[in-house]
Structure 1
Amino acid sequence: MAAPVRKMIMMANEDGNCYSYDTRKLDEAKCVHKDHVSAVMDIDYSPTGREFVTGSYDRTVRLFQFNGGHSKEIYHTKRMQRVFCVKFSGDGSYVISGNDDTNLRLWKAKASEQLGVILPRERKKHEYHEAIKKRYKHLPEVSRIAKHRHLPRPIYKASKLMHVMANAKRRKEQKRKAHSAPGSITTQPLRRRRIIKEVE
């Protein structure tokens, strides 16, 4: 018996997050995709459906796995302005972004991928390196290098500030709950935040 096909929809929000919903259950998000520090303007899925690209007011383009909470790649340039639209190419090899500076930019969907003709020996070498990284990804040194991304200074500062504010808000809610009557204050998880409205 074949498994039922889930129909997922993606919502971009001005809080810098993207929310994945199952169309059969819209009261709770299946996954919250974070990392942008400003409003997300556009989303586009790759032809495979395993990843998606987002463009944001924070002047960056990010690539996410369909079930990943954080971005796996980030694209930006010094003169790049606010990103209003993003689109995958038909074969999923490239990402096109449209910006406020009236330019279209073309990015590789896989940043480290070598373009052009690859000899069999080179292909085996790349496959071997990928297998080594996958095997030892649990080691702190390997995971730190794999996750490292260069960020522009304003985005780095904004992400640190958002992290500090989120921690302060969490501590405030914990203290309020600890000093209130049991059950009088309930906190709503981020996944159950109502950003969509169902209309009959």
Structure 2
Amino acid sequence: SREVYTTKRMQRVFAVRFSGDATYVFSGSDDMNVRCWKAKASEQLGIRLPREKHKQAYNDALLERYKHMPEVKRIVRHRHLPAAIYKAAKMRRTVVESDKRKLQRRIEHSAPGSIVVQTERKKKILAQVE
């Protein structure tokens, strides 16, 4: 894909920073490695000819000009993801939707006020440490 990096060792990334010129992204993971990635995965590094720069600028201008068109929007939005990541995200969506549906049905079929609904922000907080 144009902007997606996937490797087997990318499970636990704890720190991410851009380089000073925003060309690279540095990531630190739990296996004590710092990895260096291109900020724009599909961008060519090194010296480019003026003709290449002009062509890239023209293509970017075309995308910006016609980004509202359905055909262009469909192509720009498309991402190729590895099957494992795609299926895991799909499974997670299914689980979250079914949990919401179950909670909604519990609320509908119980006495008013008997089930206290916790907000999404509060659900994320597991414990407070002082």
With the length of structure 2 as denominator, give the TM-score of the two structures: 0.70
| Residues 128 and 186 of structure 1: CA distance in aligned 2, closer, same or farther (over 3 Å) | farther
Is the strand fraction higher in 1 or 2? 1
1:100 offset after TM fit, Å?
A: 5.3
Corresponding position: 1:162 with 2:92: yes
Name which structure has the greater RCO, CA cutoff 8 Å, separation 6+: 2
- C-alpha separation in 2, matches of 1:90 and 1:152: 31
> Aligned with 2:42: secondary structure?
coil
Is the helix fraction higher in 1 or 2? 2
Corresponding position: 1:87 with 2:33: no
- C-alpha separation in 1, matches of 2:108 and 2:120: 20
Deviations 1:40-74 (A, max 9, x none): xxxxxxxxxxxxxxxxxxxxxxxxxxxxxxxx943
Select the residue among 48, 57, 61 that pairs with 1:118: 48
Matched to 2:66, the amino acid is Y
Deviating more after overlay: 173-182 vs 188-197:
188-197
Matched to 1:82, the amino acid is Q
Q: Once the two structures are aligned, what percentage of the paired residues are identical?
A: 52
* Structure 1 alignment gaps of length 5 or more: 1-71
1:193 offset after TM fit, Å?
A: 3.8
Alignment of 1:65-84 (within 5 A): 73-77=3-7, 79-84=8-13
Q: Is the Cα contact below 8 Å between 1:81 and 1:101 reproduced in 2?
A: no
Alignment of 1:115-154 (within 5 A): 115-154=45-84
With the length of structure 1 as denominator, give the TM-score of the two structures: 0.50
1:161 offset after TM fit, Å?
A: 0.6
Q: Is the Cα contact below 8 Å between 2:4 and 2:41 reproduced in 1?
A: no
- Report the number of matched residues: 127
- C-alpha separation in 1, matches of 2:27 and 2:39: 12
* Structure 2 alignment gaps of length 5 or more: none
